[in-house]
């Protein structure tokens, strides 16, 4: 299991989740943060501090279409070649290594 950041984070990147993550697996997109599903250790610290209530466990998706879309989108942030990049981000081993990224997935970029 991993945690996922949903639409409530779009344009509301508080950063509390980044501050408490013990493994530095929360990456900053232009409009939203993303949790690397490979690097996440499932501690849940991010979920507890999120003031937007945007973070949820992946196992809670069930039949919620919006949460399912963000679960899939969260993985795409790391596996697809994002706009303005030459290759997928992959698993660099910590968000601080790459810094804030000036891009998002198409779902987030197009979110109204």
52-99 pLDDT, tens per residue? 999 999 988 888 899 999 999 999 999 999 999 999 999 999 999 999
What is the extent of the structural domain holding 88? Answer: 3-98
What's the total number of domains in the chain? 1
Which element (helix H / strand E) includes 33? strand 33-35
Q: Per the structure block, which two tokens stand in for 100?
A: 């804030």
pTM value is: 0.95
Which residues does 8 contact at the CB level (< 8 Å), separation at least 6? Answer: 52, 53, 54
CA distance 67 to 60: 8
In a domain, 109, yes or no: no
Q: What pLDDT does residue 30 have?
A: 97
Is the pLDDT at 1 greater than 80? The verdict is no
Q: pLDDT > 70: what percent of the chain?
A: 99
In a domain, 81, yes or no: yes
CATH code: domain of residue 30: 3.30.70.20
Return the bridge partners of 55, or none. 5
């Amino acid at each position: 299991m991993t945690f996922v950041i949903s639409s409530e984070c779009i344009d509301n990147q508080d950063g509390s989740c980044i501050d408490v993550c013990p493994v530095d697996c929360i990456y900053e997109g232009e409009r939203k943060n993303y949790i690397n599903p490979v690097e996440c250790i499932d501690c849940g610290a991010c979920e507890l501090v999120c003031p937007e209530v945007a973070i949820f466990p992946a196992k809670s998706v069930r039949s919620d279409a919006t949460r399912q879309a963000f679960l899939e989108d969260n993985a795409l942030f790391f596996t697809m070649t994002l706009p303005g990049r030459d290759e997928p981000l992959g698993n660099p081993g910590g968000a601080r290594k790459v810094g804030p990224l000036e891009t998002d997935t198409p779902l987030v970029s197009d979110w109204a």
